[in-house]
Amino acid sequence: MPCNTNISEIRAHRLNASKIDQAFPLVRELKDNLTLDDWRDYAAGYLGPATIKRGHRGIIAAEHRDCIRGLLCYDVLTDLVDLTTLAVRDVIVLGVPAGQPAARSLLQQLFAIAGAHRCGAIRVDLSEPMRWLAREWSDPEGELFRFPVICFLPGSTVPAPPGAMWPTQGHDPTANPS
């Protein structure tokens, strides 16, 4: 069944503490042995007030009709020379093609956060099930988006190239056979 969800129908916003439990089934897609108590503790650490030690951090959820379709955790990090990066992890979006509008909505929120904190780049660490997002989001030179978006795949120290085709995405029928 094709996904006809318009991005304007998806709201991406900071996860409210009252919805931590609602997000649990989606988060378990990342780590199936995660308990509800562990998730609550982890989420509470991201949703608490900013401190000097922790800095600004949060959880963004993408919702459609009051159902969470995507989620990510972020930290605004500043190094010793005052370069600021938006570090993103624990990204989970319902699969392709249904997840594409949620993924775009989450990315728009990342741009807003990066702009508000004057970040020089957005670094995204993707898990194995979320490899497909590298194709959607990766823009290490900042040519497509207003911020460089640097995606890293599990176990890799090399950024994913923009629009990359990954083995888990299957064969591209438009590609020339070698």
Residue that the structure tokens 């030179």 belong to: 141
To the nearest whole percent, how much of the chain has pLDDT over 90?
53
pTM over 0.95: no
Given a cut of 70, is residue 7 above it in pLDDT? Answer: no
Average pLDDT over all residues of the chain: 84
Angstrom distance (rounded) from CA 88 to CA 118: 15
- Fold assignment, 10-163: Aminopeptidase (3.40.630)
pLDDT of residue 70: 95
DSSP code string of 117-165 = TT-SEEEEE--GGGTHHHHHH-BTTSSSSSS-EEEE-TT--SPPPTT--
Residues found in the chain: 178
User: Residues 139-166: what's their mean pLDDT?
Assistant: 81
Q: How far is residue 70's CA from residue 121's CA, in Å, rounded to a whole number?
A: 21
CA angle 89, 45, 134 (to 5 degrees): 10
> What confidence score (pLDDT) does residue 102 get?
92
* Residues forming a β-bridge with 122: 86, 149
Domain ranges of the chain: 10-163
